[in-house]
Amino acid sequence: MVGVAGGMFVVAWPAGVLLGAVAIAFGAMGFADITQESHTILRNFPVLGRLRYFFESVRPELRQYFVESDQEENPYSREKRSIIYQRAKNVLATTPFGTRADVYGTGYTWIAHSMAPKHPEPSAGRVLVGAKRCKLPYDASIFNISAMSYGSLSSNAVLALNTGAKLGGFAHNTGEGGVSPYHLEPGGDLVWQVGTGYFGCRAEDGGFSAEKFVETAKSPSIKMIELKLSQGAKPGHGGILPAKKVTLEISKIRGVPMGEDVNSPPAHTAFSTPLGLIEFVTKLRDLSGGKPVGIKLCIGHPSEFLAIVKAMVETGEGPDFITIDGGEG
């Protein structure tokens, strides 16, 4: 009779069983929230506090689909992202019947019209770098791919970027993580960036190795070398690559041991003064066989940059190009 009565209870009161199960589930969540020690909100507002984390997780999607306009968000607005997607798929990216942009708004940019427009010269979009000091000057495009390292980017991303550089006839900056096989495979022009970690030309003690630099710089794909002094995204400090991220492939590319944290110091160890910087730039140019060598830096204190200019005037030497970095990353 008990079993029959129990069965009749389940059939007759399914809603009661469901409510009981829900109550037990919420009770278990509440007990877990009260006893945990990681989140104060959950401890003070058990169960209910979970709504905050849920809404935070869907906040980007809610803004993207319901709140932001086509011109909002940085670094790429929805309008710009749509153009990129359309061009990548060879879809027409123009909009008929005018524009959705506020052409009278502050900051709106445009191309001025001319009564007699002319066709630009083929060389108008290019600049010859290193014509005075280099045996191998480079005819650089004014449009290039900025520094992003392999490791931060996947192999497919690096392959795609360098393939684009080859197809478009412009250069691809390797980033300070060294020159990977994925940078070299497509055959696009490269700017090899050398940072404070000297990845790709690193000695066993973490300093600069002239022999390893020569070995890497002789690649015909490497057209220029960029010596990175500072970066806008991380002022005043270097970086660390945790040991768990140092795979066998990364170890070979960067010239670092496996199983150890890899430190990139805040400043270079190969030089410490503006005169030392100019001498090192000249050394890299000679070791590379006469390829253009430039510097990348952020202007923190104008006096520091003026000291570099003074050293250039005194020695008659200097970098073949200068990259000024901002805080955009």
Q: Residue 263: what are its φ and ψ, rounded to 5°?
A: -100, 135
Higher pLDDT: 178 or 242? It is 178
Could you give the percent of the chain with pLDDT greater than 70?
A: 94
Q: Indicate if the alpha-carbon torsion angle 84, 86, 92, 93 is positive or negative.
A: negative
What is the token pair recorded at 237?
């400090």
Q: Residue 308 half-sphere exposure, CB side, CA atoms within 13 Å? A: 20
Fold of 126-324: TIM Barrel (3.20.20)
Integer Cα distance of 255 and 258 in angstroms: 10
| 240 has pLDDT over 90 | no
Q: pLDDT tens digits, residue range 262-294?
A: 888 889 999 999 999 999 999 999 999 999 999
β-strands 322-324, 293-297: how paired? parallel
167-206 CB burial, b ≥16 within 10 A, e <16: eeebbbbbbbbbbbebbbebebbbbbbbbbbbbbbbeeeb
The answer to whether the Cα torsion of 32, 35, 37, 41 is positive or negative is: positive
pTM: 0.77
Domain ranges of the chain: 14-79, 126-324
Q: What Å distances lie between residue 57 and 54, 60, 61, 180, CA to CA?
A: 5, 7, 9, 36
Identity of the amino acid at 240: I
Task: Decide if 42 contacts 33 (C-beta within 8 A).
Answer: yes
CB-hemisphere CA count at 13 Å for 258? Answer: 7
Q: What integer is the mean pLDDT of 14-19?
A: 81
pLDDT of 161 strictly over 90: yes
Looking at per-residue confidence, does 237 or 80 come out higher? Answer: 80
Among the ranges given (36-50, 158-172, 256-270, 280-294), the one the predictor scored with the smallest mean pLDDT:
256-270
